Amino acid sequence: MSEDLDLLTEAARLAGMIALDRRRDGLDIQTKPGGSPVTDGDLAVNDFLMDGLRAARPDYGWLSEETSDDPDRLTRRRTFVIDPIDGTVAYIKNRPWWTVALTVVEDGEPVAAVVHAPVLNETFCALRGQGASLNGHPIRASDVERLEDASMLADAALLERPIWEEPWPTMRLERRNSIAYRMALVGAGGFDATIALGAKWDWDVAAGALIATEGGARVSDHGGRPFRFNQPVPQQASLVCAAPGLHPLIIQRCRPIALTDPNDGRP
């Protein structure tokens, strides 16, 4: 696993340089089916990573936001789960909150992960069972145990919707485009929690899940169920990533909200 982490770390660094170069040269922006943007920077980074990582580990499967899904990944014990640029909108708008998010998943669980924010010069790394770090320094989730005045990365409009049986208390809310970055920040104690009720693809959350949990945070869908990666539908129902003292409080508030598993359709 340590060799895989070294491979991911170097690949993320070089990928970040490619993305920055493309950004400086001016981006060609297109719209994918579904309406989300994609740039020639996303595609260039994806091609670089696919060529380099697959050459280094030809027996690993491949799952990336910018590559057509190949069911062969389901036959592989280890699979690369890749988001070439997580937070493309921030990348397009020249804001710093985008990342290169790389993961190795083994038997459905992330075992090595890197979330690299090139503009911020921040690199989060984690190995299963060996902790997580930011630029080489160990990280730890916060010890906050009350939602009141907690710092949360979330959309204020979500928390104001009439779906909640109990209003949320006053919290310090901020937003960051990259989902993987949000989760890494929770694992590092920079924020206390992040929540999203919409379904999230594996490439959105796999790297952040390992970094956050190795930092001591807890990660699940809003029903409290742990994530399982590299399934036939590579998607999680939702996201709750929080300091260990806050996670059960958020899950309790989410209990009345319907939950559907993308892989079986059962509530």
pLDDT at 261: 79
If you compute the radius of gyration of the chain from its CA atoms, what whole number of angstroms results?
A: 18
Type of residue found at 248: P
Question: For residue 208, which phi and psi values (nearest 5 degrees)?
Answer: -65, -35
CATH of the domain at 191: 3.40.190.80
What's this model's pTM, rounded to 2 decimal places? 0.96
Q: Tell me the C-alpha distance between 99 and 17, whole Å.
A: 11
pLDDT at 265: 57
- Give a yes or no: residue 204 inside a domain: yes
- Give a yes or no: residue 46 inside a domain: yes
201 exposed, middle or buried (CB, 10 Å; 0-12, 13-18, 19+)?
middle
pLDDT at 1: 82
Ordered per-residue pLDDT tens for the chain, 267 residues: 899 999 999 999 999 999 999 999 999 999 998 889 999 999 999 999 999 999 999 999 999 999 999 999 999 999 999 999 999 999 999 999 999 999 999 999 999 999 999 999 999 999 999 999 999 999 999 999 999 999 999 999 999 999 999 899 999 999 999 999 999 999 999 999 999 999 999 999 999 999 999 999 999 999 999 999 999 999 999 999 999 999 999 999 998 888 887 887 544
Residue (of 136, 190, 106, 179) closest to 9 by Cα position: 136
- Residues 151 and 174 sit within 8 Å (Cβ to Cβ): yes
- Give a yes or no: residue 143 inside a domain: no
- Give a yes or no: residue 146 inside a domain: no
Which domain covers residue 211, as residue numbers? 151-254
